Structure 1
Amino acid sequence: MTAAIDEFLGHLAARGRSPHTIAAYRSDLGAFIRWAAAAGLPEVAAELSPRDFRRYLAALHAAGRAPASVRRAVASLNGFYHFLVERELLDRNPLERLSTPKLISRLPRVLTVAQVQSFFAAFDRTTAIGQRDLAWAELLYAAGLRVAELCALDLDSVDLDDQHLRVIGKRDKERRVPFGDHAAEALRAYLRTGRPALLAAWGKPPNEPFALFLGLRGQRLSRARILQLLADYALRAGLGGRLSPHVLRHTCATHLLDGNADLRFVQELLGHESLSTTQRYTHVSVQRLRGVYDRAHPRATEPEQP
């Protein structure tokens, strides 16, 4: 089965799926192979039955995996078996009738404007690393970028005069994304002094000379490093250590809608294919509006009983 999985992952790469997506498939399929081996199941994909996959689903539930995690695991297996059927290596997909747990719709976590200000106050603007980190953090919030989009930015992705980014999103779709003065100021400082200082400290030609954000060894700043740094800065800002790039993306969208931005504009900014994906942020904004109304309107809440 390992050879078939490698062929499937190569197929995904040829179709332009992102390295992060391919890594997720590899992780999910590898986890299934390890479970199947431990359970004494056949190593050949064609010899596995729907019952085997129901057992795996039960094992994931018993291990306490979240519904979203279980759904992703099943989706990865489903994609792999669909590929085998398409290549006529199997007659049918044994997962086609496997039911997955329903997801509870949760509104995205959003920072308040005060929390955003506290977050950005935690960066040291006097060091090369602080200037670099402030620049990418400003872009996450200003442009609502996905972390993979941020890490993929090159020097020529940035137009400081027009204050726009050229972003390569999901399925290699390109879009132009504006950013504001705070992000532009942070980028200028990083490009003027921070990035050259990082290159001088490394003392060698960088591995990816055109990468916008560089690590201490001249390499492109990775997703894992961004996540780690975000958690560190969140702790310094008193926000806890669970701040993620997606929270800043959610916050960007919600604050734009709070400021009466058009929903279609937010959809284009975020690179959503469907407007319904963007519409969930309107629920957050309505909830925030409800909170303001309840606090401000004299007859918004029930009167006190005499």
Structure 2
Amino acid sequence: MDEVVNEAQNAELIKELKQEPINELDQFVKYLSAERNLSPNSVDGYTRDVRQFLKFIEATGKRIQDVDHRTIRTYLGFLQKQNYSRRSTARKLSSVRAFFSFRQHHKGIEKNPTEIISAPKLEKKLPNFLQEDAVDLLLEAPDQSTPYGVRDKAMLEMLYATGIRVSELVGLGLDSIDYGALEVRVFGKGRKERIVPVHSAAAEMVRTYIKDARKALVKKRDPKKGATTALFVNYRGERLTTHGVRLIMNKYVREVGLSRGITPHAIRHSFATHLLEAGADLRYVQELLGHVDLSSTQVYTHLSKARLRDIYMRSHPRA
């Protein structure tokens, strides 16, 4: 970066740069949480991306109000030299674009310097998913003679029965499931509520967990913290985190000998793929997954077609 300024010669400028962007970043974070109602994970992602951009601006000696489309292109070139993938670069550009859109509408700046910048074209990646027999192996892996095993069994059953995200799973409360209607009330991205059906076997597994295992786990909770309404709790009787679910999933993936890289999201992918292969309507699956854009769901049709072609090539006598 040839434009990096001499910090000793520009101490006042650097001081000014460090004050203004941080204040604006704080305001941007509050806007994401309060007005756009994004999840904590999404807010953290935006914050990291925008903070990285602001540090780059500081290093090049520019002020935030001096940023134009050429600065954005230089930043994208910097990311490329740092070997960021196209997907990561596109996400970072999206975060910076949102930041300048915020400044445009809340700070009165005339132009968004990212408007004429195109995101890098992304390679299409088919999501990981499990065959039905592999899902069966995974769901049967927990040892149901222990409270943790009962919890894990209920958790895995819920993931595959509903296709919900892991963040939605850990957000479930004791009142989230209507056992009579066999429905789950889920809060997805942007705290948008949707109702997802759940089959009776999974719902009954959750009831068993609540009746026995959960009671044993919440006994370990610090009495000073009071009761918790979280459905799935950890060994301390506190709400299970997304990281905790991933660790639990990794344990069972290793135990049953599945390939590495199978995450809770792979169960969501499996849920969607299996429904489409069984003839479910694409828009119905879109509604179940909570996708705003149908194109987000269409990736599963490509996946399904790829599998069907593989079956054809292996099965047809003349293939």
C-alpha displacement of 1:260 = 1.6
1:74–1:234 distance in 2 versus 1, CA, 3 Å? same
TM-score by length of 1: 0.90
Contact kept in structure 2, 1:143 and 1:252, CA below 8 Å:
yes
- The Cα offsets for residues 79-111 of structure 1, whole Å up to 9 and x where unpaired, read as 101111112442222222223211011222211
Q: Does 2:188 correspond to 1:169?
A: yes
Deviates more, 1:180-189 or 1:265-274: 180-189
User: Deviation at 1:203?
Assistant: 5.2
| 1:272-291 CA distance string (max 9 Å, x none) | 22333222212222222222
CA contact (8 A) 2:100 2:112 kept: yes
Measured in 1, the distance between the counterparts of 2:194 and 2:56 equals 41
Q: Give the partner amino acid of 2:83.
A: G
* 1:246 to partner: Cα distance: 1.9
Please list every run of 5 or more consecutive structure 1 residues that lacks an aligned counterpart in the other structure.
Answer: 302-306
* Aligned partner (choices 59, 63, 69) of residue 78 of structure 2: 59
Q: Which residue of 2 aligns with 1:24?
A: 45
Q: 1:206 to 1:250 in 2, by over 3 A?
A: farther
Quote the Cα distance in structure 1 between the aligned partners of 2:232 and 2:154: 9
1:13 aligns with 2:33: yes
Distance 1:280 1:53 in 2: 30
Shift of 1:40: 4.1
Corresponding residue number in structure 2 for 1:199: 218
Conserved in 1, the CA contact under 8 Å of 2:57 and 2:64? no
- Higher deviation after alignment, 167-176 or 190-199: 167-176
Given candidates 267, 273, 280, the residue that maps to 1:248 is 267
Tell me by how many angstroms 1:240 deviates: 3.2
Superposition pairs for residues 203-242 of structure 1, below 5 Å? 204=223, 209-242=228-261
**How many pairs align?**
298
Distance in 2, matches of 1:241 and 1:110, equals 12
One-letter identity of the residue aligned with 1:108: P
Q: 1:206 to 1:178 in 2, by over 3 A?
A: farther
CA deviations on 1:44-95 (whole Å, 9 max, x unpaired) are 4213343333232122112221111111111111110111111244222222
Q: What's the TM-score once normalised by structure 2's chain length?
A: 0.87
Kindly indicate whether residue 315 of structure 2 is the aligned counterpart of residue 293 of structure 1: no
Aligned match of 1:304: none
| Seq. identity, % | 39
Offset from partner CA, 1:96-151 (integer Å, 9 cap, x none):
22232110112222111121122123212121122222212211111010122112
Alignment of 1:272 onto 2:291:
yes
Structure-2 separation of matches of 1:231 and 1:102: 32
Counterpart residue identity of residue 160, structure 1:
Y
Task: Describe the SS at the equivalent of 1:17.
Answer: coil
Contact 1:167 1:177 in 2 (8 A): yes
Listed as ranges, the gaps of 5+ residues in structure 2 are 1-20
